[in-house]
C-alpha cells in the first residue's frame, strides 16, 4: 500500500475520457483521485453530484478530479448519462474503469473484509506527482466533498506560505451543507431482489419513502 510522500504509481488506465497515463495526465496540477464502490448505487450518486457541482471550484485552485471503481467504461458512461438526465447534473471529470482491480489493489482500495468493491478512498496528489493526503471512508458512509476541497486548499496554503493549518481552518469561509439531493435524509440500501424492488415501489407510491429510481430511495430518519 502506498504511503504519504510517495510518488503516485505510473499507470495507464481506461477512463470515460479515453486511455490516460497517471500521474502525467495532470502534470503541473493537483488532482484528487477518489474511488467509489459501484455505479448505480445511491450513496455514490450523491457523492458524484456534489463532486460535479464543486468541479469548477476545484479547478479554480488548480485541482482536477478523477473517479475510480471496478465497473467497466460502458457502466460509467450509462451512469453519468442517468445522472445528467434524471438529476440535471453533468459529470465532466474522467472516471477510471479499473475492471481488473489492478490500480485499486496498488492503492489499497479493496478491503478483504468489505467484499470485492473499492471502498471510498481519497488520494490528493500534488503537481509533482507526490501523494500528499490519503483518506478512507467505509462503503456505508458518504464523504464530505467540502472537506476534501478544504484539505487541498490547506495543503496548497502550507506549501506556499511554509506554514501549518490548525483544526477547522477555513471552515467559516466555506459553504458547509447537506446533500443537495436528499438533504439530511438517510439512504435505503438498494433492493437485492425483485420482490424488494416491487415493495419499494409500493412504499414510494404511498409516500412512505422517496425515490429517484427503484435503486435510489431515501427517507427521514
217 a catalytic residue:
no
Annotated binding site: 120
Instruction: Pick the catalytic residue from 14, 22, 44, 188.
Output: 44
What's the start-to-end Cα distance of the chain, in Å? 37
CA–CA separation, 133 and 154 (whole Å): 11
Annotated binding site for substrate: 120
Residues recognised as catalytic: 44
Amino acid at each position: 500500500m502506498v504511503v504519504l510522500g510517495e510518488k503516485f504509481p505510473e499507470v495507464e488506465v481506461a477512463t470515460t475520457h479515453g486511455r490516460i497515463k497517471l500521474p502525467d495526465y495532470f502534470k503541473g496540477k493537483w488532482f484528487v483521485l477518489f474511488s467509489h464502490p459501484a455505479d448505480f448505487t445511491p450513496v455514490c450518486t450523491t457523492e458524484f453530484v456534489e463532486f460535479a457541482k464543486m468541479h469548477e471550484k476545484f479547478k479554480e485552485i488548480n485541482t482536477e478530479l478523477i473517479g475510480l471503481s471496478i465497473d467497466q467504461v460502458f457502466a460509467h458512461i450509462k451512469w453519468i448519462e442517468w445522472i445528467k438526465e434524471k438529476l440535471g447534473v453533468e459529470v465532466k471529470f474522467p472516471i477510471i474503469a479499473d475492471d481488473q482491480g489492478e490500480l485499486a489493489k496498488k492503492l489499497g482500495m479493496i478491503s478483504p473484509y468489505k467484499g470485492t468493491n473499492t471502498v471510498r478512498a481519497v488520494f490528493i496528489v500534488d503537481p509533482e506527482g507526490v501523494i500528499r493526503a490519503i483518506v478512507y471512508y467505509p462503503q456505508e458512509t458518504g464523504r464530505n466533498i467540502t472537506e476534501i476541497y478544504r484539505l487541498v486548499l490547506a495543503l496548497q496554503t502550507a506549501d506556499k506560505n511554509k506554514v501549518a493549518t490548525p483544526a477547522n481552518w477555513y471552515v467559516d469561509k466555506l459553504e458547509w451543507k447537506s446533500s443537495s439531493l436528499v438533504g439530511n435524509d438517510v439512504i435505503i440500501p438498494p433492493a437485492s431482489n425483485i420482490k424488494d424492488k416491487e415493495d419499494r415501489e409500493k412504499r414510494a407510491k404511498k409516500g412512505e419513502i422517496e425515490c429517484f429510481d427503484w435503486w435510489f430511495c431515501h427517507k427521514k430518519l
